Structure 1
Amino acid sequence: MCTLICGPKLAACGIMLSTWGVIMLAMLGIFFTTHSALLIEDVPLTSGDFNDTNPPQKVFDVYDRVGYNCFIASAIYTLIGAFSCYQMKLNRQKEYLVH
C-alpha cells in the first residue's frame, strides 16, 4: 500500500541532503581507505595502537575501518534518498488526482 509520510518540501529537502551525504561520505570513504595523511586527526587511535609489533599496519586497519563505516553511512543516505524520491512521486500523484 502506498503511504504518504512527508510533504513535497520535506521530500525535496531529503533528496538534497541525501545527495550531499552520499557524495561527501563516499569521498571520505575513499580517502580513508587510501590512508590519507590529512585525515589522521579523525582516526580514533589509542596509545595501544602504537605499542603493537607492527604499528603502521594497526593504524592502517583503523583507517580502513573508518573508511568502511563511511561507505555504510553513504549507503544509508542512498536509501534515504530513494525513500525521499518515492515520497516526491507520491506527492505528485496526489497533486495530479486533486486537479
Structure 2
Amino acid sequence: MMRVLICGPKLAACGIVLSTWGVIMLAMLGIFFTTHSAVLIEDVPVTDEDIHEDKNPPQRIYELYNKVGYNCFIAAGIYVLFAAFSCCQMRLNKQREYLVH
C-alpha cells in the first residue's frame, strides 16, 4: 500500500475537527428531517403542485422530508470518509516526525 503525505499536521487536525462537526450536525439534521420536524419545513423543497395537486398531501411532503434526511445522512457519511483521511494524514505526519528526529 502506497502512503502519500498530502497535507501537514495542522491541516489534518483542522480536517478532523471540521469533519467531526459536519458528521454531528448532518446526522442531527438527518434525524430531524426523517422525523418530519415542523421547524424545518422551509428547508423542504415543496412546490405548489406537491400541495394542491396531490390527493394525499401529507404523504408527499413526508416523502420530501425523508429524501432531504437521507441526503443529510449521505453527506454525513462523506464527512466520515474525510475524517478518516485526515486521521491517516495525522498518522503519516507523526511517523514522518518520528523518522526525522
In the superposition, the TM-score normalised over structure 1's length comes to: 0.99
Q: Who is 1:45 aligned against?
A: 46
Alignment gaps of 5+ in structure 1: none
Q: Who is 1:79 aligned against?
A: 81
Q: Deviations over 1:17-42 (max 9, x none)?
A: 00000000000000000000000011
Question: 4+ residue stretches of structure 1 with deviation over 4 A?
Answer: none
Aligned-pair Cα RMSD in Å = 0.3
Alignment gaps of 5+ in structure 2: none
- Aligned partner letter, 2:36: H
Tell me the number of residue pairs that the alignment of Structure 1 and Structure 2 aligns.
Answer: 99
Q: Who is 1:16 aligned against?
A: 17
Q: Deviations over 1:34-53 (max 9, x none)?
A: 00000001111101101200
Q: Deviations over 1:42-71 (max 9, x none)?
A: 111101101200000000000000000000
- Aligned partner letter, 2:42: E
Distance 1:77 1:68 in 2: 14
Within the alignment, does 1:69 sit opposite 2:65 as a pair?
no
Identity of aligned residues (%): 74
